[in-house]
Amino acid sequence: MNIKEAKEEIKKTVKAYTSKTEAGTYRISIHRQRPVLLIGPPGIGKTAIMEQIAQECSLGLVAYTMTHHTRQSAIGLPVLEKREFQGQEYTITSYTMSEIIASVYEQMKLTGREEGILFLDEINCVSETLMPAMLQFLQYKTFGSHKLPEGWVIVAAGNPFGYNRSVREFDMVTLDRVKRMDVEPDLKVWKSYALERGLHPAVLSFLELKPECFYVIEPGKRGFVTGRGWEDLSEMLLTMEELKLKVEEHLFCQYLQDQETSQEFALYYQLYQKWKGQIYLEEILEGEKEFPELPSLPFDERLCVVWLLLQRLHVMAFSLDEREQIAKSLQYFIEGMGRSGQSCQEQLERRKKGFLVRKDCGLLQPGEEEREKILVTIIHGCMGQERLLGEAGAYQSRLEEEQENLKEKGTELRKALQKGIKFVRQTFGEGQELVIFLTGLLEHPFIRRRMKAQLGAEFKAATEFLSVEGKEEEIRRRLESNPMLNL
């Protein structure tokens, strides 16, 4: 299965394990709640989906990389105790609470969430002295004499044998007590995630051309490339471009640790930068400029142009989505003051405490911290207007201002989408470029929702165009076999 399918399967498992009867007991008894064992190559997104599941299911999350633990930190330290048995006193060895179990209780105290996920990464790379205790924990949910609290689900992850020299194979007895899922890399699933996160268009367009370069790992071979590498490289490229720092060729091999892939992407990035300096996207989206030379260019250069245009639309959509979330948070804040009867300052302090707890527990969504800072700035601005407009008037006025601004930005995006589709269709016809452009729009979740809600005819035409005779799959096959793609 791919990582998206694994995520949905784990969500179902967590819901089943935490569901209760009318009497308040768990439907699946604790000793029948098998730990989930997620096996997949490195950099595939195993840790990321744990954070997503915890956020989406409103659960606590405690994550540990087991290679960093010793037997003492996992089980606890030995302590001597006096106990009486059959009238005679004996000295026995007991243990302090496991660091891992203690972290679960600390998480429950901080968040108030009684149920959650304990995620143990690199489970099959633990030290030889810790392995027996780890196998006992998977079977009985107990470290030493301390049990994992009820309502907490164990999810463990590891790399397959051959990807890591420290990996140990689990025996049949252990595997018969876990719920095993094997996960493989999937470019289509990763691309959907990458579009939502706003990854660099040069990365996305290059992988459109060279899908075989997405995940390059051969057990025993030194060079490798993972989804994590592409994402981290994208972050660095976006930051360096924003700061106007020169991107040197050696940067790519620091993230793409396969020489051939690194060299191919370096050449493609040069091509991307060339067209970035020659294409005037704002003029295209205003319908004021044409480029008659584009259809005669090699396909890889035409693809650069298409993805530059997609990037501009993605940035517009991302910005609008961020402001919509801020406006919703402001509205919720105003409604919260009305429900609680608290002053703005009291409500703000309460919100700040909740935010810091979620941040400490690693439960923030991407971009949430930046949105929170903007919201707090807006609220402080409203507090400065309270004397003039009154408390309710100051906040309501700012909310209306935000909503009006959203309408204007929404109109701009709608027009840009219409003109972008028109430009690609008129410039390149109904070929590969249009398929890639429409696919890039519809795979972006926010743009897809906007097109469906506001561009009824264009949305219907785009989906019908892509579905005719499996055009999307056809284009992927043509991309892979196109001789013009030898960079």
More confident residue, 41 or 252: 252
Contact between residue 126 and residue 118 where contact means Cβ atoms under 8 Å apart: no
What is the Cα–Cα distance from 400 to 409, expressed in whole angstroms?
A: 14
In a domain, 87, yes or no: no
For tokens 């909310």, the residue is: 399
Please enumerate in sequence order all residues whose Cβ is within 8 A of that of 431, keeping only pairs 6 or more positions apart, or say none: none
Q: Is the model more confident about 342 or about 229?
A: 229
Do 358 and 443 fall into the same domain?
yes
- Structural domain contains residue 420: yes
132 and 250 share a domain? no
Residues 284 and 264 in one domain: no
Domain-embedded: residue 306: no
Phi/psi class of residue 162: alpha, beta or left (left: φ > 0; alpha: ψ in -120 to 50)?
A: left
Higher pLDDT among residues 432 and 214, named by residue: 214
Residue 486: which pLDDT band, with cuts at 50, 70 and 90? very low
Query: Does the residue 122 lie in any domain?
Result: yes
CATH number for the domain that contains residue 176: 3.40.50.300
230 within domain boundaries:
yes
* Residue 265: predicted pLDDT: 92
Q: Compute the mean pLDDT over every residue in the chain, rounded to the nearest whole number.
A: 80
322 and 422 share one domain? yes
Q: Given this model, what pLDDT does residue 12 score?
A: 92
H helix runs in 112-152, sequence order: 131-140
| Total-model pTM | 0.73
Residue 199 has pLDDT above 70, yes or no: yes
Per-residue pLDDT, 487: 32
Which among 60, 76, 122 has a CA at the least distance from the CA of 357? 60
Band the pLDDT of 485: cuts 50, 70, 90.
very low
Are 444 and 437 a contacting pair, CB within 8 Å? Answer: no
Say whether both 147 and 204 belong to one domain: no
Q: Of 140, 156, 184, which residue sits at a domain end?
A: 184
What is the reported pLDDT for 185?
A: 87
3-state secondary structure 280-324: CHHHHHCCCCCCCCHHHCCHHHHHHHHHHHHHHHHHHHHHHHHHH
Specify the DSSP class assigned to residue 257: B
Handedness of CA 418, 420, 423, 426 (dihedral sign): negative
- Given 184, 209, 240, the domain boundary residue is 184
For the chain, what is the radius of gyration of the CA atoms?
27
The boundaries of the domain holding residue 319 are 278-294+315-487
The predicted-structure confidence for 325-335, as pLDDT tens digits, reads as follows: 888 888 888 88
Residue where a domain terminates, one of 212, 247, 277: 277
Query: What total of structural domains would you count in the chain?
Result: 3
**How far apart, in whole angstroms, are the C-alpha atoms of residue 68 and residue 50?**
19
What are 55-80's pLDDT values in tens digits?
888 888 888 887 777 777 777 777 78
On whether both 371 and 484 belong to a single domain, the answer is: yes
CA pseudo-torsion sign 461, 464, 469, 474: positive
Tokens describing residue 84: 């009486």
What is the SS3 assignment for 341?
Answer: coil
Q: Which residues, including other chains, have CB under 8 Å from residue 323's CB and lie 6 or more apart?
A: 402, 405, 406, 409
- For residue 398, the Cα-to-chain-centroid distance in whole angstroms is 32
Q: Is residue 241's pLDDT more than 70?
A: yes
pLDDT digits (tens, 9 = 90+) for 411-425: 888 888 888 888 888
For residue 416, being part of any structural domain is answered with yes
123 and 233 in a single domain? The answer is no
**pLDDT value of position 390:** 62
pLDDT in tens, 145-160: 788 888 899 998 887 7
Quick one: 443 and 429 in the same domain? yes
Based on the domain organization, do 153 and 260 belong to the same domain? no
User: Is the same domain home to 430 and 448?
Assistant: yes
pLDDT at 164 (0 to 100): 62
Measured distance CA(178)–CA(141) in Å, rounded: 12
Q: Where are the beta strands (DSSP E) in 52-123?
A: 60-65, 78-85, 88-95, 116-121
Same domain? For 162 and 286 the reply is: no
Long-range contacts of 467-476 (CB under 8 A, 24+ apart): 471/435, 472/435, 472/439, 475/432, 475/435, 475/436, 475/439, 476/211
Handedness of CA 139, 144, 148, 154 (dihedral sign): negative
Flag whether 307 is in a domain.
no
Residue 287 lies in a domain: yes
The string of pLDDT tens digits covering residues 364-395 is 777 788 888 888 888 888 777 666 556 667 77
Residues 21 and 122 in one domain: yes
Phi, psi of 36 (to 5 degrees): -85, 130
**127 burial via Cβ count (<10 Å: 0-12, 13-18, 19+):** middle
